[in-house]
Amino acid sequence: SLNGKTAVITGSNSGIGLGIARELARAGADVVLNSFTDRDEDHALAAGIGKEFGVTARYIKADMSRGDECRALIEQTGGCDILVNNAGIQHVAPIDEFPTKKWDAIIAINLTSAFHTTAAALPEMRARGWGRVVNIASAHGLTASPYKSAYIAAKHGIVGLSKTTALETAEEPITCNAICPGYVLTPLVEAQIPDQMKAHGMDRDTVVRDVMLARQPSKQFATVEQLGGTTVFLCSDAAAQITGTTISVDGGWTAL
Ligand code: NAD
C-alpha cells in the first residue's frame, strides 16, 4: 500500500493524469492534483477523490509552461514522494507550417516542466529516503508519425530525461521510468480527431480505425485505469529495481 506517501500528478484535472491520481489514491497515497486553472470544479475534483478513497487530496494550481510554477508546485506540496510528470499538449501540423509558439509551448509543458519538477523533488526524496518519478511519455517517445514534430521531440526527450534521472539516483532508493501509452481515448485525443479528419480527408470512424489505431494491433484504446495501474506498479516494492526504462502500454504498437 502507498499509505503515507504523497503523490504529485501534473496535469491531472482530466484524462490520464486524473486516472493515475485516482489509482494512486485507491492504493492509499495522498494526492496533489494540478493544472493551470483554479476553478471551483478543480478543487471539487480533489475533494471527491479524497472522500472516495479516504486519503488527503489537494488541488494546486501551477502552469507547467513556467519553470518557477513547476518548482513552486513541489515546494507547496511539501514532501513529494511520488512525482508523475503527465501534463501535456499536442499540435498537429507539418514542420514547415508548425507555429513556433506551439513548438515552444509543447517543449515547455511536455518536457521542460519535468526537468523543473524533478529538480525540485529529488532533494526531498533523498531526505526522506524513498522516491518514485514516473514520466508519462508516449509510443511517440519511441517511434514517430508525421505532423507531430514538437510532441515527438518532447516525448523522445522525456525518455532521455528519465534515463538520466535514473542514473543520477541509481544507488538510492529512488527510481525513474517512463510509461509509453499508445492511444488512450481522452480529451487530448478527442481533440485531434477533427484535425486528423481534415489532414487525411477521412470521416471520424475511418480516422479512428485506420489512422489512430492503425498502429495499435490490439485495435483497442488503452484506458486511464490501465495507466494508473502501471503507475501504482512502478511505485511498488516489486518495481524497486526497475529504473531508467520504458514500459509500453500500447496494445502492441512498438512491436510492429
Ligand atoms: P488531457 O488533455 O486530457 O490532459 C492533459 C492534462 O494536462 C490536463 O489536465 C490539462 O489541464 C493539463 N495541462 C495542459 N497544459 C497545462 C499547463 N500549462 N500546466 C498544467 N497542466 C496543463 O490529455 P491526456 O490524453 O490525458 O494526456 C496526458 C498525458 O498523456 C500527456 O503528456 C500526453 O502527451 C500523454 N499521452 C496521451 C496519450 C493519449 O492517447 N491520450 C497517448 C500517449 C501519451
- What integer pLDDT is reported at residue 187 of this predicted model? 80
Point out which residues pair with 85 in neighbouring strands. Answer: 135
CB–CB of 196/153 below 8 Å? Answer: no
- What integer pLDDT is reported at residue 192 of this predicted model? 84
pTM: 0.96
Q: Maximum distance among all alpha carbons in the chain?
A: 55
The residue with cell 478543487 is 43
Point out which residues pair with 131 in neighbouring strands. Answer: 174
> What is the value of ipTM here, to two decimals?
0.99
CB–CB of 137/182 below 8 Å? Answer: no
| CB of 230 closer than 6 angstroms to any ligand 1 atom | no
- What integer pLDDT is reported at residue 189 of this predicted model? 83
| CB of 65 closer than 6 angstroms to any ligand 1 atom | yes
Among 59, 147, 151, 183, the active-site one is 151
Dump pLDDT digits (tens) for 146-184: 999 999 999 999 999 999 999 999 999 999 999 999 999
Name the grid cell of 178.
Answer: 517512463
Dump pLDDT digits (tens) for 220-241: 899 999 999 999 999 999 999 9
- What integer pLDDT is reported at residue 218 of this predicted model? 93
- What integer pLDDT is reported at residue 212 of this predicted model? 87
- What integer pLDDT is reported at residue 190 of this predicted model? 87
**How many Å apart are CA 54 and CA 91, to the nearest integer?**
38
- What integer pLDDT is reported at residue 202 of this predicted model? 95
Best of 9, 12, 14, 16 for a ligand 1 pocket test (most atoms within 8 Å of beta carbon) = 16
**How many Å apart are CA 39 and CA 44, to the nearest integer?**
9
The whole-number mean pLDDT for each consecutive block of 10 residues of the chain, a chain of 256 residues, reads 98 97 98 98 98 98 98 98 98 97 98 99 98 98 97 99 99 98 88 92 92 91 96 98 98 96
Separation of CA 35 and ligand 1 centre (Å): 10
What string of DSSP letters covers the chain? Answer: --TT-EEEESS-SSHHHHHHHHHHHHTT-EEEEEES---HHHHHHHHHHHHHHTS-EEEEE--TTSHHHHHHHHHHH-S--EEEE---------GGG--HHHHHHHHIIIIIHHHHHHHHHHHHHHHHT-EEEEEE--GGGTS--TT-HHHHHHHHHHHHHHHHHHHHTTTTTEEEEEEEE--B-SHHHHHHHHHHHHHHT--HHHIIIIIIGGG-TT-S-B-HHHHHHHHHHHTSGGGTT--S-EEEESTTGGG-
- What integer pLDDT is reported at residue 52 of this predicted model? 98
Tell me the pLDDT of the chain averaged across its residues: 97
Q: Is 151 tagged catalytic? A: yes
| CB of 135 closer than 6 angstroms to any ligand 1 atom | no
**Structural domains of the chain, with CATH:** 6-183+222-255 (3.40.50.720)
